């Protein structure tokens, strides 16, 4: 009876071990991979759409700034009532004529010391900064997709291992009960096996809950429910040293490039405010008809004037505007330094994380190899009666724990690799070569940068673009 129970247990253990060892290789042709997650996130992210809309708003600021350099034409209706009293010697005459004017007025800025042009240039720098901010958001979206995919993959593997552990614990309990019936073990051994099975079932329930949580995060990050995962992704090309990684980040990271454009934009605002302290010259003209309410008289009027204004005193507002612009420029410069430091630290942390994960993975693989050798040896010894069933189960559990640690280390290495890409500013749809329609920020900008009027052909083209955006 002992040899029969032992043989049954060993057969169950061998079958379970084969299942555990084949966990990684069990995949299907229709499985989702990391690239699918990237594509889904890029195409469905509301965060990307939000920031693209903010970029279009920044594009319109250029058109608004440009309009200050163009003439302003209005149709004007004006009703006036004059009150005039004349005294000539002893004669006092009161005149209260009422007039109605209808016509076209024009105002054209001729000179303002370059303030309006500087305002346009500042708006253009803000557009460039916002474009880089959009790329940084794109990196965040794609990294979240990578994290979600690897999270689902990890939890699926954990569920499979926990399921295998439940099967092993069930085999152990049945073998212990068989041995108890023939008097080889005590009730304590049976209770110990029951406790082990209950613990394995609780661990499995917890793993399934974690898998559901990971799948919910995947839906949020990618925009669809995950299919069967296709396994660990291949590692991207990475720098050979942390110095090389930092050098790449200093040149490519969108947060740094955005901060640099912000500094240039603030410099231009300072120059604009200083130019506003000088004189400005404008041309004003109007043409129309002036009618009198007192009779049927009317006059065809046309006038043109040239005016020069030089601020002398504005309650301190102009000087305060200059000082505020200088403070905002200083803040932008300080922010650039902070961003550079943060990016450098982020690259260093990601590089160290990847190196640590790589070392941990090698150790985990060696642990799996050693645990496999130990399990095979104890299993053979058990068939000869030199080892107990509990010894075999303990060795099998050690092997499963080692496999679980290996899977976690492999996932951590993949995650660290893509974090390093993000830290360098290289985790974008274009650099990854994703099969998506890459968003081109220059298309909308080119339509609005010349501030097209509503009646122009360019404005009609812009209307079609806006309608297409609303349909998406």
Per-residue tokens: 298 = 């009317």
DSSP-derived secondary structure for 206-264: HHHHHHHHHHHHHHHHHSS---SB--SPPPPP--SSHHHHHHHHHHH-HHHHHHHHHHH
How many CB atoms neighbour CB 68 within 10 A?
15
Q: Does a structural domain hold residue 266?
A: yes
Q: What is the CATH number of the domain that holds 420?
A: 1.20.1600.10
Burial of 392 (0-12, 13-18, 19+ CB in 10 A): buried
Residues for the chain: how many in total?
Answer: 472
Cα–Cα distances (Å) from 322 to 261, 317, 334, in that order, read: 20, 9, 19
Confidence (pLDDT) at 471 = 58
Compute the distance between CA of residue 361 and CA of residue 369 in angstroms, rounded to an integer: 12
DSSP-derived secondary structure for 351-367: HHHHHHHHHHHHHHHHH
Q: Does a structural domain hold residue 55?
A: yes
Q: Does a structural domain hold residue 201?
A: no
DSSP state letter for 298: E
Structural domain for 48, as ranges: 2-7+22-70+112-156+226-276+311-439
Q: Does a structural domain hold residue 375?
A: yes
Q: Does a structural domain hold residue 237?
A: yes
E strand or H helix at 340, and its extent? helix 317-383
Domain count of the fold of the chain: 1
Confidence (pLDDT) at 81 = 74
Q: Does a structural domain hold residue 403?
A: yes
Compute the distance between CA of residue 389 and CA of residue 79 in angstroms, rounded to an integer: 106
Per-residue pLDDT of the chain (472 residues; tens, 9 = 90+): 444 444 444 444 444 444 444 433 333 334 589 999 999 999 999 999 999 999 999 999 999 999 999 999 999 888 877 776 776 666 656 655 677 888 999 999 999 999 999 999 999 999 999 999 999 999 999 999 999 999 999 999 999 888 988 887 888 788 778 868 877 767 877 887 788 789 889 989 999 999 999 999 999 999 998 888 888 888 888 999 999 999 999 999 999 999 999 999 999 999 999 999 999 999 999 998 888 766 667 788 888 999 999 999 889 999 999 999 999 999 999 999 999 999 999 999 999 999 999 999 999 989 989 988 998 888 777 656 677 767 877 887 788 888 889 999 999 999 999 999 999 999 999 999 999 999 999 988 998 888 887 666 666 667 777 776 665 5
Q: Does a structural domain hold residue 123?
A: yes
CA 416 to chain centre: 17
Q: pTM value?
A: 0.83
Q: Does a structural domain hold residue 288?
A: no
């Amino acid at each position: 009876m002992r040899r029969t129970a032992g043989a049954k247990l060993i057969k169950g253990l061998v079958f379970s071990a084969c299942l555990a060892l084949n966990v990684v290789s069990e995949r299907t042709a229709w499985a989702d991979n990391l690239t699918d997650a990237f594509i889904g996130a890029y195409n469905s992210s509301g965060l990307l759409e939000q920031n693209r809309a903010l970029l279009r708003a920044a594009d319109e600021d250029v058109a608004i700034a440009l309009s200050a350099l163009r003439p302003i034409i209005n149709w004007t209706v004006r009703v006036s009532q004059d009150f005039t009293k004349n005294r000539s010697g002893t004669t006092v005459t009161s005149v209260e004529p009422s007039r109605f004017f209808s016509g076209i007025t024009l105002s054209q800025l001729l000179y303002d010391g370059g303030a309006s042009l500087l305002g346009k240039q500042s708006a253009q720098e803000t557009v460039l900064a916002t474009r880089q901010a959009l790329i940084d958001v794109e990196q965040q979206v794609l990294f979240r997709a990578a994290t979600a995919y690897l999270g689902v993959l990890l939890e699926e593997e954990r569920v499979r291992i926990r399921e295998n552990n439940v099967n092993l614990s069930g085999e152990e309990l049945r073998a212990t009960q068989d041995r108890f019936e023939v008097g080889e073990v005590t009730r304590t051994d049976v209770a110990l096996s029951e406790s082990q099975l209950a613990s394995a079932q609780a661990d499995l329930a917890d793993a399934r809950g974690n898998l559901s949580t990971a799948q919910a995060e995947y839906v949020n990050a990618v925009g669809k429910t995950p299919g069967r995962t296709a396994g660990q992704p291949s590692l991207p090309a990475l720098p050979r040293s942390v110095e090389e990684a930092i050098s790449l980040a200093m040149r490519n990271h969108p947060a740094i490039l955005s901060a640099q454009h912000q500094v240039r934009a603030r410099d231009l605002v300072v120059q604009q405010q200083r130019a506003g302290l000088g004189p400005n010259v404008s041309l004003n003209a109007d043409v129309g008809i002036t009618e009198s309410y007192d009779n049927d008289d009317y006059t065809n009027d046309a006038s043109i004037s040239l005016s020069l204004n030089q601020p002398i005193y504005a309650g301190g507002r102009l000087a305060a505007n200059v000082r505020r612009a200088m403070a905002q420029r200083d803040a932008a410069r300080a922010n650039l330094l902070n961003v550079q430091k943060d990016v450098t630290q982020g690259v260093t942390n990601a590089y160290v994380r990847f190196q640590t994960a790589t070392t941990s993975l090698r150790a985990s693989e060696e642990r799996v190899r050693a645990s496999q050798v130990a399990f095979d040896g104890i299993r053979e010894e058990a068939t000869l009666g030199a080892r107990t069933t509990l010894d075999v189960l303990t060795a099998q559990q050690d092997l499963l724990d080692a496999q679980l640690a290996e899977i976690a280390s492999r996932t951590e290495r993949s995650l660290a690799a893509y974090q390093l890409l993000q830290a360098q500013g290289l985790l974008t749809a274009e650099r990854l070569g994703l099969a998506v329609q890459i968003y081109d920020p220059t298309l909308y900008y080119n339509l609005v940068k010349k501030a097209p009027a509503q009646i122009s052909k360019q404005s009609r083209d812009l209307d079609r673009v806006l309608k297409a955006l609303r349909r998406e």
